[in-house]
Structure 1
Amino acid sequence: MIIGKGLKNSALMVLTAMVGFGVVGCGTASQPASTASNGAAASNAMVPKAEQPVASTTAKPAEVKEEKKLSGKLVVYSAGPKELAESIQKGYEAKTGVKIEMFQGTTGKVLSRMEAEKANPAVDVVILASLPATQGLKKSGLTMEYKDAKNADKLIAEWSDKEGHFFGYSASALGIGYNTKLVPTPPKEWSDLTKEEWKDKVNIPDPALSGSALDFVTGYLSTKGDSGWELLEQYKKNGVAMAGANQEALDPVITGAKSIVVAGVDYLTYQAKAKGEPIDMIYPASGTVISPRPASIIKTTKNPDAAKAYIDYLLSDEAQIMIADTFLLPGRKDIPAKNRPGVDQIPQMKIDWAWMDANGDASTKKFTQIFK
C-alpha cells in the first residue's frame, strides 16, 4: 500500500528503516514440579518393605498460573471510528490500569505517521481499515506474532492471520450510499452510475486516503482484471468526483450537494441514518467487498504484555458489543450485527486478497491518474 499516492509503498518504506530492530516479545510458562532423583529412588529400594515411607494420599493443589500485572502506557494508532476508539480506550484502561496514548486518522495517515517515526518507532498497536495494508506490514516484518489471543478462535477466519500477526476485530462493507430525498429510486448496480441520470451527482472516496476505498478498487479489479478499469473510466466521464476520505465523500450526500457516494463505507451511512439524516445504503446484487479492520502488535513495542492485553480486549464480549453498537460488523462470528445487515446478508465478490495486496500501489496510481 502507499501513503498519499497509495498505501502499500509506505508500509514497505517503514520496513527499510525498521526491519533491523529486534523482536520484542515475552511470555511465561509454568514449570512442572521436579521429580525425585534416580539416587533417591535407589535408596528407597534398599529399605525393607515394611519400613519404606508411605506415599501421601493427599493431592497437591493444582498449580495456578498467575496473570502478569500490567503497567506503563500503550501507544495505539487507530483508523477510527473516533467514538469507538475512545470507548475501547476507556474500557481497556478501566480493566487494566494501563493508560493509552491514542492517535486517530485514516489508514493513509496512520501509515504516514509510522513512516515519519521510522527512526524511533513509538507505536505499540496499529489498527488499519484495510486488510491488504496490514498484510503489507506483516510482509515488511513489522508485526509481532501473538498466537494465544483470547477469543481468536471465534473470529471470522478470513479476516485474520493464521499465524497471529493481525486480527480482524471488525469490518465494514462498501456500498452505494444515497440521499433518500434526492433519490427515491436508488441504483441497483455499480454500472448504473455510468448513466446520464447520475451525471455530476456522485462522489467516490480517494483510495490513497481511505484503506477501505482501496479495498473496493483492488477487490473489484481482482475479479474483473484489466476490464475492471472500464467502469472507473466511465465513472470519470460521467462526472464522478474523487472527494477525500470516506467522511468527506459522504458529507455532501447528507447535505444534498451530491446525490450518491459510491464505494463508501456502510457504517458511516448507518450512523448518519440513525441520527435522522436522509441517507441510506444498498449493496449491488453482483457483490461488494467487505473490508476487515485488522489490529496488529508492532514488534518494536516497548510494552508487549499490555499490547497483548489490548488485542484480548478488542476480541472480548464487551468490546465486540461496542463495535456492533457503532454499526460496524463485529469480527466474532458469535456476536450479531446491530440495526444493519450482517455478513450473511451482504452479497460479496469473490476477491483475491493476495492480488489486492500485490497490486495496491499500481492500482492507486492509475486511479489517481484517471480522477485527477
Structure 2
Amino acid sequence: MFNMTRNKWKKGSALILALTLGAALAGCGSNKAAEDTAAAAGEGKPAETADKTLTVYTAGPEGLANNLIKEFESQSGIKVETFQGTTGKILARLEAEKSNPVADVVILASLPSAQGLKKEGLTLAYPEAKNADKLNKDWSDPEGNYFSTSASALGIAYNTKLVTTPPTSWSDLAKPEYKDQINIPDPSLSGSALDFITGYLSDKGDGGWSLFESYKANGVAMAGANQEALDPVITGAKSMVAGAVDYMTYKAKAKGEPIDIVYPQEGTVISPRPAAILKSTKHEENAKAFIDYLLSDSAQKLVSDAALLPGRTDVKAENRANLGDIPLLKTDWTWMGEHGSEVTDKFTKLLK
C-alpha cells in the first residue's frame, strides 16, 4: 500500500471517492450539529475552541515542515497535527482513510499528484489566497486548487572525494568508469524521481528510454526513496545519484559532508511542491489561513533557508542555485501525469 504511486491513486477510484466525500461532508455537518447541541447543554468544548485545529500531511523536508508549523501555530493560535512521509506514502494514507478522511491540507513533492487530486474532485479551490498572484504560474493551479509554495530541481549528486571531475550530461553516467557506482531513487516511492523520469521522457520522447537502458547496463541501482539513494553517496559506498533532489544535497553539503550537485547541460526537471486543501476538510477557514501563511513573506523565507526554491517569483534563495541558473528540459506536465503509472511500471521492471 505504501508503494502506491500517484496514478494508482487515480485508477478506478473516482466513483468510490465521490461517494466517500459525500458521506464525509454529511458526517461533518452532523458532527457540527452535535457539537452545537452539546455546547448549548454545557457539555464538551465550545465549537470555536474545538475548531482551532488543523491536520496537515506533508512530504517534508522534516526540518522545514516543523519550522513552518511552529511559526503558523504561534501566529494563528491553531494547533496543527502532522503526518510526514513521501508523496507515495501520503497518497496511500489518503486512500486508506477514504471512508473517514482525516487530513485537511496536503503538501506533496510532485505536481502531477496534485493535478490528479484536482481531477478526481478532491480539492477545495481557494482562488483568493493571499499572494497567490506572486507564485510561479507554471507550478500552480490558476483556479486555486493547489499552490506550489516551494520546489526542488533534480540533478546529479556526487561524492567530492570519489568524483573529482563531475559529469556534465545525464549520459555520462553510463560510462564504464562509473559501473555499479550510481544510485537512482525508486519512482514508486519518490514523486520527484517520477517527475525526473517522466519529465525526461516528455522532452525526449520514446527514444529517451535508451538512457535508462544504458543505466541498467552500467549497473545503476534503484535504491529506495530520495534519502535512501543519497546516503550511500554521502558515506562513499556509492559515487553518485541520478535524479537527486538538490535541496537534500545542499543541506548535506552545508553540514560539511563531501557532497555536491551538478545540473546536466542538456537540462533537468523542476519538481514543484504543491499544497492543496482537501474538499473533505472539517476546518475550511483554518486550512485557508494555513495556505495564506505558506505564501507569506516569512514562510517563503523559511523555504529559502531550507535550500529549496521559493514558490513566489519575487523571493530569491540565497544559499543555492536559483531558477534562472538551472538549465531546464521542456517538460509537459499533462503528459507526465497521464503516463506516470505506465512509466513507473516499465522503469521499475527495467531496473530490478
TM over 0.5: yes
Mapped to 2, the partners of 1:230 and 1:109 lie a distance apart of 30
Mapped to 2, the partners of 1:251 and 1:161 lie a distance apart of 34
Q: Percent same amino acid among aligned pairs? A: 60
What is the deviation of 1:19?
1.6
State the superposition RMSD in angstroms. Answer: 1.6
2:118 is equivalent to residue 138 of structure 1: yes
Residue type of the partner of 1:84? L
Residues 4, 92 of structure 2: 8 Å contact kept: no
Q: Which residue of 2 aligns with 1:175?
A: 155
2:197 is equivalent to residue 198 of structure 1: no
Mapped to 2, the partners of 1:331 and 1:232 lie a distance apart of 30
Distance 1:337 1:170, change over 3 A: same
Once the two structures are superposed, residues 248-291 of structure 1 have per-residue CA deviations (whole angstroms, 9 ceiling, x without a partner) of: 00000000000000101000000000000000000011000001
Q: Which residue of 2 aligns with 1:235?
A: 215
Distance 1:116 1:242, change over 3 A: same
Matching residue within 311, 334, 342 for 2:314: 334
Q: Which residue of 2 aligns with 1:115?
A: 95
What is the deviation of 1:106?
0.3
Gaps of 5+ in 1: 25-67
What is the deviation of 1:155?
0.5
What is the deviation of 1:338?
2.1
Segment of structure 1 superposing worse, 10-19 or 130-139 = 10-19
Once the two structures are superposed, residues 109-151 of structure 1 have per-residue CA deviations (whole angstroms, 9 ceiling, x without a partner) of: 0000000001111110001000011101110110011011000
Residue type of the partner of 2:255? K
Q: Which residue of 2 aligns with 1:249?
A: 229
Mapped to 2, the partners of 1:125 and 1:195 lie a distance apart of 44
Distance 1:305 1:5, change over 3 A: closer
Mapped to 1, the partners of 2:10 and 2:244 lie a distance apart of 23
What is the deviation of 1:8?
1.4
2:6 is equivalent to residue 7 of structure 1: yes
Distance 1:156 1:346, change over 3 A: same
What is the deviation of 1:10?
1.4
Residue type of the partner of 1:131? L
Mapped to 2, the partners of 1:241 and 1:214 lie a distance apart of 15
In the comparison of the two structures, how many residue pairs are matched? 328
Distance 1:166 1:5, change over 3 A: closer
Once the two structures are superposed, residues 85-121 of structure 1 have per-residue CA deviations (whole angstroms, 9 ceiling, x without a partner) of: 1111011111111100100000000000000001111
1:240-279 to structure 2, matched below 5 A, reads 240-279=220-259
Mapped to 1, the partners of 2:12 and 2:162 lie a distance apart of 44
Distance 1:310 1:343, change over 3 A: same
Mapped to 2, the partners of 1:284 and 1:182 lie a distance apart of 19
- 3-state secondary structure, aligned to 1:252: helix
Distance 1:336 1:101, change over 3 A: same
Distance 1:13 1:250, change over 3 A: farther
Residues 70, 305 of structure 1: 8 Å contact kept: no
Q: Which residue of 1 aligns with 2:57?
A: 77
Residue type of the partner of 2:8? N
Mapped to 2, the partners of 1:211 and 1:362 lie a distance apart of 14
TM-score normalised by length of structure 1: 0.86
Q: Which residue of 2 aligns with 1:34?
A: none
Residue type of the partner of 2:221? A
Mapped to 2, the partners of 1:134 and 1:88 lie a distance apart of 20
TM-score normalised by length of structure 2: 0.90
2:39 is equivalent to residue 89 of structure 1: no
Residue type of the partner of 1:267? Y
What is the deviation of 1:17?
2.7
Distance 1:129 1:13, change over 3 A: farther
What is the deviation of 1:71?
3.9
Gaps of 5+ in 2: 26-47
- 3-state secondary structure, aligned to 1:272: helix
Once the two structures are superposed, residues 20-66 of structure 1 have per-residue CA deviations (whole angstroms, 9 ceiling, x without a partner) of: 32497xxxxxxxxxxxxxxxxxxxxxxxxxxxxxxxxxxxxxxxxxx
